Structure 1
Amino acid sequence: MGWSFGRRRPVTYLLGQPVDPYPAQPPEARRGRVLRITEIGEPVLHTPAREVTAFSTPELARLIDDMFATMEVAEGVGLAAPQVGVDLRVFVYDLTDERGDRHVGHVVNPVLEMDLESDLETEDEGCLSVPGAYEPLARPSVARVRGVDQHGAPVELEGVGFLARCFIHESQHLDGTLYWDHLAPEHQADALRQRDEERPHVLAARHEIAVELGKKPAEYPEQPAGGR
């Protein structure tokens, strides 16, 4: 008889519920189109998004599919609707946490609750709307999100560590707040410097991945659309 000690099989959680099996490419990403990711300085990123009031619609389903496809091509772990130019309170996520577990899903009209008594964790954080820039940022290590799915069914999620950081980052996008807004001025300037250096390489990679996946790549202006 063979014995295995201390080895744990990673779990995939779809909207907080374990699923087995689950494909490497989410079905939404397979169906979706690749959209241009808005960039810091564009008004849609700096304005609170609107509540979703119509559920189970083809338009909402298409938005979520497109957000998953766009996130996959950009190699992101989370994406908010304003990042594809849509001012609605929706975000998607697909990430692997510190334990090796995968978390996938979307949340509509999320309400964020940060556990301010949890330890603060400082990690390098980036944003697909500030391509190529990473800066250290302290975040609470525990966060909860309550909302609904695209059909209006209740969603309640709790995140620890990296997952908590994702929930905070994406929920704050919907209030018009970027991680950049939390940085000290010198770190803000450094983030934009990194962006200026890395943006062409990041956009080239997004183009290449889209082609590899058989998707039409998004088109980006030569200079950031936000003007910063």
Structure 2
Amino acid sequence: MTIKTDTKKQMLIKAVVIGVSAGGFKALHRILPLFDNSFPIPVMIVQHRKAENDSFFVNSLKEKCHIHVEEAIDKTRIAQGRIYIAPGGYHLLVEKDLSLALSVDSPVCYCRPSIDVLFESAADAFGPNIIGIILTGANADGANGIKAIKSSGGITIVQNPKTADVDYMPLAAIKTNAVDHILELDEIPRFVNNLVIGSN
């Protein structure tokens, strides 16, 4: 199912941000390996994790993905064709100079890392040249971030809540009326590959 969007909007895509919570381990392990091995732009991800989480999550993605995967480090300059994962217990932000920043500011929607924090900062940094994606999850984190990306002129995508492990987060994003596309999980990487590789 797709919400109608402007099919003439063919801007240069410079980054992808993904937000996910409950059910995210399985969802990310399904879609990220399907991103093209020549994927030319950075991907920043917030998966709700606690500060005491170990490195298993990131290491397991490294083994599955064609693209380099790493946990985000404060003050790192964003590199092309890499996947950055927010560390547990830290907000992940994109700075205006396109470096990454980590913060221990108060939780947002009871979460740190917060999807809203990443999406809102990325919308400020990349403007219309960004894709925001919300996947399965159990709270409303990401809804304000989706609105920020839409307001900046970016493209917004949500996993079909009917087939998400947990539908609350996708539904909250859809209720903002700021979602361009509602897609099945396995459709998302193909759709993003076509948009990104076709625009670069």
Bigger radius of gyration, 1 or 2?
1
Q: Is the strand fraction higher in 1 or 2?
A: 1
Superposition TM-score tier, normalisation by shorter sequence: under 0.3
What's the TM-score, normalizing by structure 2?
0.27
